[in-house]
Structure 1
Amino acid sequence: MTLSRRHVTARMAATLAVTATLPWARPARALARTPAEAAGALDAALERLPQLHSLQVRRGADVVFAEAPRGGGLDAPANIKSCSKSLVALLLGVAIDRGEVTGVDAPLRTVAPGLIPEDATEGVGGITLEDLVTLRAGLEATSGAHYGAWVGSNNWIAHALRRPMVARPGGRMIYSTGSTHVLGAALTEATGKSLLAQARERLGQPMGFAVPPWTRDPQGYYFGGNQMALTPRAMLDVATMVRDGGTFDGTQVVSADWMRASLEPRTVSPWSGMDYGYGWFLTGSGYAMARGYGGQVIAAHPERALAVAITSDPTQPARSGGYFGDLMDLLDGPILDLA
């Protein structure tokens, strides 16, 4: 059921009144806006930002804001773009917890040697799963200017592993969807299950949402870093699970140990300046965030008990100095004011 703005505001005010006495409640004097003012600011943003399709905020157990004036609504699958990378990172944690992968330090030559082409760049076999999930494989990016040639190749994995080594594996962050795609293929080999099957069985089923099929590469591996689709409601549930240390509705979906490790800074994005953990951007204001092209966001703020899901026009760019900056202003402004 989609709540009206009036009902959301009333429910939000009641929720905040109850939770104000809880240990994790934000002191009232720190609020820059009242709940009604914060909701009003979000309403205004929905009208002011035509690229913004949907916005949901969960505080504790309650959805305190939920609007979808554009796009397919809250129950239709939306392309989450590179938020997919964060879901692949969650699946890595599940595979490690199940003993299907020995750990993040496992090298590609051990986990999935068959993925490595004979003419791979020297040193590729020693790239670890941690290097891949933190986007520190050292290989030249397949994203940006190289993206078209990469997805137009007849073997995405081989193409990615033939890129020149431009940094030490485990060194600086090189944003490259090819790294996450290789990771997803390695998980497929290690588990014997496609990335789609893993996403359905290990995330969707325990949390109660569907995961539709998405793009596959020429060898049949599901795209491990782009083009997944979830409903905005499912995105909010993922944010809630991350916020709550891997649990959702009483079920431990991803281990607490993996979630703690995932939200520790491992590197820094050269583009946004944000820290990056195991597949999650980490903001200075306390969010763990999955970020996708166009302004797709799955964000968790454990300290403030907030979970946020945002969908946007997936065909338009969202740069840190532009529309994505507008979204960050919302996250760090009126959304935090709901806490």
Structure 2
Amino acid sequence: MSTLLRQAVDRTAEELTRRSTHPHALLVVQHGRIIAERRWAPWDTDEPMLVYSVSKTFTSAAVGLAVADGAFGYQDTLAELWPEAAEGAGPRARSIRVRDALAMAGGHSAEQATALAEELAWTRHPDGLATARAFLAAEPEHRPGSFFAYNNLSTWMLAEVVRRTTGTDVWTLLTSRVLEPLGIGGPPWDRDAQGHPLGFSGLHLRPSELARFATLLLDDGVWQGERLLPSQWIREHRRSQVSTAGEGFPDWERGYGWQVWMSRHGYRLDGAFGQFALILPQARAVVVSTNETADCAQPVLDTIWAHLVPVLEAGAAAVPEVSEPDLRTLQVPVVAGRLDRSRIRTGTLQEGDRLTLTPTGDRWQLEWRRPSGEQHTIAVGHGRWLHSHLVTAEGEIELAASAGERDGVLEIRIAVTTTPHTLVLNWSADRLSQHWFIEPLTPGGLFSQFRLSAGR
């Protein structure tokens, strides 16, 4: 690894930290090799992490496999592929093609998409057919194929079409045909109320696994000489299918492909709060960046474009000599403040959870009793992060916690390291409250952020 590239990686990591994007991982692959990686503790574990809408690209790839197998075609309409769901559908809804749904160009307006999601609470709805009927009963305001509006329900529909036409859900199809050959295996993927992969979100991946999939896309769907993804899907998914002018930020106005965003450099897999896999053909490189940033993650991309991409593009022509990757672990700041070893605290959150915090040596032990009676113990560090693994009735949660007391208020930060999110508890003499640093898209408190075990 050249000195210039090492400096560029360090400048990028420093700038991401300075700009308060709260980075968790930065991984750089060029010419098929990991050349640099920065991980921020406590997100430096080897646990797969929620990548939100990056999942959409995996669903899109599953659609590509199904089409290549002859299960259906890109020109087929959702109504043709799911006729039971088309009862009551108007002419525009009946004309939504698979390729339109892939491009978020089904014709529904953004307001329609939001209203559908709010009305149905569809990820928890036990009847998938009712959800599909509601989607097609909402007559699009625009002609399908002509208008972009981000719509999670479109991606869910695609995942369901794959399952109905192939008899195999997107998780199973991808695992056997793509992920296992990449050495990823069967990553956890959150399910809807029917037990089917969400499609639009919920996939959990390690940064290195995401980098492998992104490298497969960079290399035209071929891995170690074997074609894993169909060439037609590869060609089509990475070109702009619909205009996204007016989305408000430079890298969101470059157009949308088949469940990927066009960028000022290459294109990207894009998940909420700064979960990115950047495919950079001109640099023969892939960059994975995971963060806990606000709704607009443009500063993450600005930083990578400014500091890292120019150096990667300059080195694109020559394959570097084989050497060990430059790996380094950095630190998310722990909570500043003192440790009061004399005081046991008890309190109740507004939701009814009962908490007891006990100092033990140079740490605390947090006993958390849920209204259901389920109880868990969380280790809380002073001046450091301590990790805990919880098994709940719903799934698993990986946590890291640190705390400190200042001016009579104890602050406890609990990083859910299988997600991008951090929960903050503030505990004063007369009040215990909680808030998320960045509110998760999955509603609820700490225990709603569970992850299914691998293979579920």
TM-score range, shorter chain: 0.7 to 0.9
| Equivalent residue number for residue 273 of structure 1 | 253
Contact 2:94–2:136 (CA under 8 A) maintained in structure 1: no
Please identify which structure carries the higher helix content: 1
The structure 2 residue matched to 1:302, chosen from 264, 277, 281, is 281
| Equivalent residue number for residue 13 of structure 2 | 43
Q: 1:74 to 1:300 in 2, by over 3 A?
A: farther
Letter in 2 for 1:126: S
Contact 1:84–1:224 (CA under 8 A) maintained in structure 2: yes
TM-score normalised according to structure 2 size: 0.61
Q: 1:235 to 1:74 in 2, by over 3 A?
A: farther
**What pairs with 1:1-339 in structure 2 (closer than 5 Å)?**
12-13=1-2, 34-48=4-18, 49=20, 51-70=22-41, 72-73=43-44, 75-101=46-72, 103-114=73-84, 116-141=85-110, 144=114, 147-151=117-121, 154=125, 155-269=130-244, 270-271=246-247, 272-285=252-265, 287-313=266-292, 317-319=294-296, 324-336=297-309, 337-339=311-313
User: Which deviations, in whole Å up to 9, do the C-alpha atoms of 1:58-77 show, x marking residues without a partner?
Assistant: 01122122111145336311
Q: 1:117 to 1:317 in 2, by over 3 A?
A: farther
- CA drift of 1:259 comes to 0.9
Give the CA RMSD over aligned residues: 2.2
- CA drift of 1:245 comes to 0.7
- CA drift of 1:126 comes to 2.3
Q: Whose radius of gyration is greater, 1 or 2?
A: 2
Which deviates more, 143-152 or 179-188? 143-152
Q: Whole-Å Cα distance in 1 between the matches of residues 213 and 105 of structure 2?
A: 25
Question: SS of the counterpart of 2:278?
Answer: strand
Question: SS of the counterpart of 1:268?
Answer: coil
User: Which deviations, in whole Å up to 9, do the C-alpha atoms of 1:200-244 show, x marking residues without a partner?
Assistant: 122211211033343323344321211211111111011101111
Contact 1:239–1:300 (CA under 8 A) maintained in structure 2: yes
Question: SS of the counterpart of 1:310?
Answer: strand
Question: SS of the counterpart of 1:206?
Answer: coil
Q: Which runs of 5+ in 2 are unaligned?
A: 314-456
Q: 1:280 to 1:273 in 2, by over 3 A?
A: same
- CA drift of 1:125 comes to 2.9
Q: Whole-Å Cα distance in 1 between the matches of residues 49 and 114 of structure 2?
A: 22
Q: 1:113 to 1:42 in 2, by over 3 A?
A: same
Q: 1:284 to 1:241 in 2, by over 3 A?
A: same
Q: Whole-Å Cα distance in 2 between the matches of residues 149 and 111 of structure 1?
A: 24
Contact 1:243–1:301 (CA under 8 A) maintained in structure 2: yes
| Equivalent residue number for residue 349 of structure 2 | none
Q: 1:43 to 1:108 in 2, by over 3 A?
A: closer
Q: 1:195 to 1:88 in 2, by over 3 A?
A: same
Q: Whole-Å Cα distance in 2 between the matches of residues 261 and 175 of structure 1?
A: 19
Q: 1:143 to 1:168 in 2, by over 3 A?
A: closer
Q: Which runs of 5+ in 1 are unaligned?
A: 1-11, 15-33
- CA drift of 1:146 comes to 5.4
| Equivalent residue number for residue 30 of structure 1 | none
TM-score normalised according to structure 1 size: 0.81
Contact 1:156–1:217 (CA under 8 A) maintained in structure 2: no
Greater length-normalized contact order (CA 8 Å, ≥ 6 residues apart): 1
Contact 1:57–1:335 (CA under 8 A) maintained in structure 2: no
- CA drift of 1:133 comes to 0.1
Contact 1:246–1:254 (CA under 8 A) maintained in structure 2: yes
- CA drift of 1:327 comes to 1.3
Q: Whole-Å Cα distance in 2 between the matches of residues 85 and 145 of structure 1?
A: 21
Contact 2:13–2:26 (CA under 8 A) maintained in structure 1: no
Q: Whole-Å Cα distance in 2 between the matches of residues 258 and 146 of structure 1?
A: 29
Contact 1:243–1:305 (CA under 8 A) maintained in structure 2: yes
| Equivalent residue number for residue 5 of structure 1 | none
